[in-house]
Structure formats: structure tokens, C-alpha cells
A and B are shown apart, each in its own frame.
Chain A
Amino acid sequence: MPYQLVWLIFLLPLFSFAIISLFLRPFLNHKPKLGGYITIASLLGSLGLSVWALLEVMAAPGHSLLVPDINWVIIEGGITIHLGLIVDSLTVVMLIVVTVVSLMVQIYSQGYMHGDPGYHRYFAFMSLFTASMLGLVLADNLLFVYVFWEMVGLCSYLLIGFWFHRPAVADAAKKAFIVTRLGDFGFLAAILLLYFNTGTFDIGQLHSLAITGALAGTTLTWAAIGIFAGAVGKSAQFPLHTWLPDAMEGPTPVSALIHAATMVAAGVFLVARTFPLFSHSVEAVTTVAIIGGFTAIFAASMGLVMTDIKRVLAYSTISQLGYMMLGLGAGGIAIGIFHLFNHAFFKALLFLGAGSVNHATGTFDMREMGGLRKFMPWTYATFLIAALSISGIWPLAGFWSKDEILASALQNQPILFYLAMITVFMTAFYMFRVVFMTFGGEYRGGGAEAHGKPHESPSVMVMPMVVLAILAVVSGFWNVTGQFGAFMGHGETHSFAEGFFGILTHSLPWLSLILAGLGILFAYAMYSAKWLSAERIGGLFKPLYTLFYRKYWFDELYERVFVGKVLVGGFFAGLQGFDTYGVDGAVNGVASGAIATGRAIRRAHTGQLQLYGLFIGIGILAIVICLYFFG
């Protein structure tokens, strides 16, 4: 098949968006199912093409396909902007992640969003999001990456604010949009900096410029830091992490797709895509590792104490994204992206599980759940698999990627390695805290909307969870043989059995397994067996507990200090002052000046026609004299 077909991968969901929003929603709003079917059909097409692209790239020499591009903007003697695609190993891995998770989430949404009045709107935005995300992954120049980058941000805003009639939801959507925009500013600045220094937006050319050393020194460092600022915003890394927990106000499948598996991972992807710029600047790559490693433990600590199941998962996502950044900064593309690949499946599954639980109990508050193991066996089983996977239990997917990150951190960033090891313990603890609080013990009655006994979700919701659960088990096997690393361009391969069991001959995996096991044990002791009272431990570490529970007061810091004092009190007040005294003053000054002039010279209007005639005569005389002498 010709390589032009790769274009269809992101055009198909775009068509689906166009069909739903232009035809189905205006004309066929009474048949809501159609929107979902069209979205799923287009994603099946995209998934098929992505698998084909994956196989082609695996077979191709250098793991890269040349897709014919087109010139989009040509300005004579100036800028030529290509509209092209990169299809290499990084792209196809991301394509697979996005299309698989998106497809599963769309199928799940059929059940979760059933009967929602905004059904068509939901699927239109979901299609648009998937199209933008695929475009972001495929685009071959920074300008287009930026366009799609903003489009996924827009879709995120629209979908977080899907139930916009609730004020908290509208606020969360705004917060997500504005906070990520802060990072995007850095990204845009980096693009312009690179363009004015190299004259190109093309990622491939930028790579070779960085590798040959034509692009180096502070320029390169600042450009890389700018790009990383964009990634920090999108991937909710410290200090721009505050938007992601609030984004949980959106529908749960949206959280699964956008705020767990794909869009928040776009930051990690962006760093990986421009990795040569980072790897040739020690400062930049160290920044990535430090921010990532710090965010991992920082977010995990807040996840320990949250009582809202989705917020725990949100902090877990931030923490895992921190791991990916640490993997990129300490190890390289293959290690960071491998964790992204695995994380996408098990974290999407965790969110879908949370949605399924919410479907049954009508609440996200874990204190009102409990005992769901008996009522929802499928949800319980899949959720447990995902929790084991994210905790890094051998031989599930999370183990393989987390182990590599830890190993590379031990080698390159010893301090961050210790933080990451503590995070392993915390991850296992908060995940199993969720498991025991939600599924263990006795049912505590559910939320206000709950009716009767909870029941298992419909099969249209369970089926995608089962598929993702299988992936959460097996996706890690790709790199057991070192295949994934080789595909991404480094590392050696070995046999499956050697990788599968050989890993257990090292001490590091055992150490992380023991820490994870300890975390699970603590969670069991506190929330299932009640050997330890959670309240007493909370009271024992009261200041720490408050610190975590109030999220280190970052929301207050940003709202009161930055927004309240600096923006509203300082900057906006200054602008308002300028508006009142500067702009209004100028306008009113012109008006009152005209009035004063009029008042002064209207005395000349005596009403004496003869006087007017005299002036006219003098005027004509003056003109004649002027013409006579100077004409």
C-alpha cells in the first residue's frame, strides 16, 4: 500500500468529527447511537492503518518511512512551510497507544455516556481530540506540532467542561486551559528561538543541526528548556501540576483518554521527539530528570491521602509522568517512551474502572464505597490487574518499564534514584489503598444518587476493560527481549526466557519488588485488616497529613498570591489604571478639548450676515492674492 495512506490515520477521526458535528448533531440528534458508531468505525480504520504502519516501520531500514509531503505556505524569498509526516519508531508506538486506548474508551463511552443529552457533542469532541493527538504525533515540523498541541489543549478544555452547567466544572476547564497555556508560552518561545537561529521548523533538520553541533551552547539549552516548559504544562509536572487533579471534573472516559493515557503523555512525547536537542545539552537533560524525579515523589505524596478515587488516580498519573520524564532525562527515549506505552494501558484501565465504580455507586468518594468486590467481579479483577501493574509487580507491564527507569536513574542520577525508590513504595501503597477502600470490606451505601445494590456495568463497558487488562499484563513483554529498545535505536536484544527470568538475578528488581510489596502490605494492614488505624497514623503525622491533604497549599499559593495579588492586584489593576486614565483620558480629553475650543470660538458667530459676508470677501481676496503671488 502507498505510504500516503498514513495521512488517513489522523484524517479519519477528523472526518468523523466533521460528519458528527455538521450532519448528525443538527439533523439526526434523535439518533444518538450513530455518533458513537461513526467514531468507533473511524478509529477502527485508524487502528488498522496504525498497525500496518507499525509493521512497515519495523521492516523498513532505519525504522523510518518517507511519506510524501506538500508545501503548505511558500513566501517568496522567505519562509517555506512543509506539511509533512514523520513515520518512525517513536511515531508508530504513539499511534498504537493513541488508537488502541481511544478505541477502547469510545466503546466504553457507549455505555458510560448512555442517555446523556450531549451524546453527539461528546463524540464529536472525542473524534476531534483523537485526530489532533494523532496529528501531533505524526507532524514533522514544530509549527504543526504546536498547532496540534493547542488543538489537543482545546479539546481537553471542551471535554473537561463537558458538563459546563456546573460551576466547578467550568472553573476546572478554565484552570486546565490557562495553566497549560503558561507552559505553551515557553514552547512557542522555543520554536521562535529555534527558527530565528536555524531558519527551519523541521524536526529532522533540527535533529541533525543539534547532532553536528551547529546548534549548541546557550541557544540550544534555552530552546530545550522552552520545549520542556511546554511539556511541563501539558504533562502536569511540578510546578504546573495543579490543573490535572481538577480536570477530573470531566466525564471519566475523558479522564481515561486525555488525562491519563494520551494528552498528558504528549509532553513526554514532545521531549522524546526533540530528544537530540536535550541530549546535547547537559543542563537541559538534567532539568528534565530532576523535574521528573521530583514530580514523581511530590505527586505520589498527595495521592496518599486523597479520598476521591479519581483524584488519587490523577496524582498517580502526574507521578507516573514524572517517572517518564525521569526515564527520558536519565536514560533516553526508549526508557521513557516504554513507560509511556505501558502506563497508557494500565492507567486508562484504572480510570475506566473508576468510571465503572461510579456508574454503580453514583459517587467518586471512596469512603462511601467498599465491598464492591462481590457486586462487580469484572471491574474488580481488571482494576486489580492494573493496580498490580502500576505498582510494578513482576511480570506485569509496569514492572518492566519501571525497572528500566530505576536502573538508568541509579546509573546517572543517584539522588533521584532514592526518591524514585520511595515513590515505588508510595505508588503501591496508594493504589492498594484505593483497591481495599473501594472493593474490600463491606458496602458503605454509595453516594446520594445510588439506588439499591450496586451492580456490574454493562458488557459494552466491561469488554474494553478486559482488553486493556490483557494489554496491562502483556504490553511490557515487548521489551523483555530488549526488542523495544532496539526498535527505538539503542540497547541489545536477548532471548525471551533470559529476559523474563534473568531480571530476577539482579538485586535492583528485588529491591523495588520488596518496596512495592511493603506498600501493598501497609495498605492491607491499614485499610483491609485494620491492624493499624488510618486515623491514628494520620494523627501521628498530623502536619505531614495536612500538608499532603492541602496539596502543599499550591492551589492557595497560585490563587491568592499569583492570581490575587500579582495579577488582579498588580498587573490587572495597572492595566485598569491605564485604561481609566490613559485610554479613557485620551478619548475624553479629545472630546472636552473640542468642546472648549467650540465654546471659545463660537463668539465669532455673531449672527450678522454682513459680517460673514465680509469674512468671505476677505477670504476670497486672500486666495486671489496668494494665487497671484505664489501661483
Chain B
Amino acid sequence: MVGLEHYLILSAVLFSIGLYGALAKRNAIVILMSIELMLNAVNIAMVAFSRYIVPLLLTGQVFVIFIMVVAAAEVAVGLAIIIAIYRHRETIDATKIDLMKW
């Protein structure tokens, strides 16, 4: 029988993979994908809570729809930024994009 905890463990694993990717990968596109992974981990957790704890309310699921929309918008903006950086500097290595330092 699959219970709430299974979903939460899956969500945590996905989130950790995403976090690792976002912090450790150099390729900006991979970082963007990792962030998507983290967002989806959250989505799984929310749907699971919604299903198991308050089955009659759809709050969590509606939230998930919102997060998806935001994620799509974020990807659009993020990719546009990456393209702009690439045109400018001919690289998408995150460690090389360090203009904001002192």
C-alpha cells in the first residue's frame, strides 16, 4: 500500500537532486532544469498532502496549477536571459558569469 510518506520521500529525493543540481552544475540550462525539478518536488508534496490530509478540499491542487504556470513563465524568462548572456559572452558557464562580485 502506498502511503503519504512514500510520496513525501519521493518529493524530498527529487528536491535534493534539484538542489544539488542548482548549486553544483555549471551549465546554466542544467541549473534551470534543476530548479524545475525542485518546483515539481514541491508540487508532488502538495498534491500528496491534499489527497491524504484534506481529501475534500482542492486547495493544494489549485496551488500546484499556479506553481506550474509560474514555472512555465520562469522558464521562458530564464531561457531568454541565458540566450542573452550567451550572445553577449559566448558562454553559459555559471561560474564565469560573475559580474556581480566586488
List residues of A whose CB falls within 8 A of some B CB.
Answer: 602-603, 605-610, 613-614, 617
Contact = CB atoms under 8 A, between A and B. Distances in A.
Given A607-B101, A610-B24, A610-B95, 9 more contacts: A605-B101, A605-B102, A608-B101, A610-B23, A610-B31, A613-B23, A614-B23, A617-B19, A617-B23
A172 to B, nearest CB: 62
B90 interface: no
B73 interface: no
B94 interface: yes
Contacts of A602: 102
* 4 nearest CB pairs, A to B: A607-B101, A607-B98, A602-B102, A607-B100
Contacts of B97: 607, 609
A606 B22 contact: no
Nearest to A604: B102
A614 B100 CA distance: 16
A602 to B, nearest CB: 4
Nearest to A598: B102
A622 to B, nearest CB: 15
A281 to B, nearest CB: 75
A608 B95 contact: yes
Contacts of A608: 94-95, 98, 101
A602 B102 CA distance: 7
A360 B23 CA distance: 100
Interface in B52-102: 94-95, 97-102
Nearest to A613: B23
Contacts of B102: 602-603, 605, 607
A606 B24 contact: no
A5 B27 CA distance: 97
Most buried by B among A602, A607, A614: A607
Nearest to B94: A610
B23 A606 contact: no
A399 to B, nearest CB: 93
Contacts of A617: 19, 23
Nearest to A612: B100
Contact of B99 (A607, A613, A614): A607
26 contacts: A602-B102, A603-B102, A605-B100, A605-B101, A605-B102, A606-B98, A606-B101, A607-B97, A607-B98, A607-B99, A607-B100, A607-B101, A608-B95, A608-B98, A608-B101, A609-B94, A609-B97, A610-B23, A610-B24, A610-B31, A610-B94, A610-B95, A613-B22, A613-B23, A614-B23, A617-B23
Nearest to B31: A610
A609 to B, nearest CB: 6
B31 to A, nearest CB: 7
Interface residues of B, number: 13
A609 B94 CA distance: 8
B67 to A, nearest CB: 19
A605 B102 CA distance: 6
Nearest to A616: B23
A525 to B, nearest CB: 95
A614 B19 CA distance: 9
Contacts of A603: 102
A540 B29 CA distance: 112
Contacts of B101: 605-608
A236 B31 CA distance: 89
Nearest to B24: A610
A608 B98 CA distance: 6
Contacts of B95: 608, 610
A602 B101 CA distance: 9
Contacts of B31: 610
Interface string B18-58: 01001110000001000000000000000000000000000
A597 to B, nearest CB: 14
Contacts of A609: 94, 97, 100
B87 to A, nearest CB: 19
A606 B97 CA distance: 10
A605 B100 CA distance: 8
Contacts of B98: 606-608
B21 to A, nearest CB: 10
A605 B98 CA distance: 10
Contacts of B94: 608-610
B39 to A, nearest CB: 15
B83 to A, nearest CB: 17
Nearest to B25: A610
B79 to A, nearest CB: 16
A8 B13 CA distance: 94
B84 to A, nearest CB: 16
Contacts of A614: 23
A606 B100 CA distance: 8
A624 to B, nearest CB: 13
A602 B100 CA distance: 12
B7 to A, nearest CB: 21
Nearest to A609: B94
Contacts of A606: 98, 101
A607 B102 CA distance: 7
Nearest to B19: A617
Nearest to A603: B102
A22 to B, nearest CB: 63
Contacts of B99: 607
A609 B31 CA distance: 11
A618 to B, nearest CB: 10
Nearest to B101: A607
B91 to A, nearest CB: 14
Nearest to A601: B102
Contacts of A605: 100-102
A471 B99 CA distance: 95
A603 B94 CA distance: 19
Contacts of A607: 97-102
A610 B22 contact: yes
A603 B101 CA distance: 9
A371 B75 CA distance: 111
B77 to A, nearest CB: 15
Contacts of B19: 617
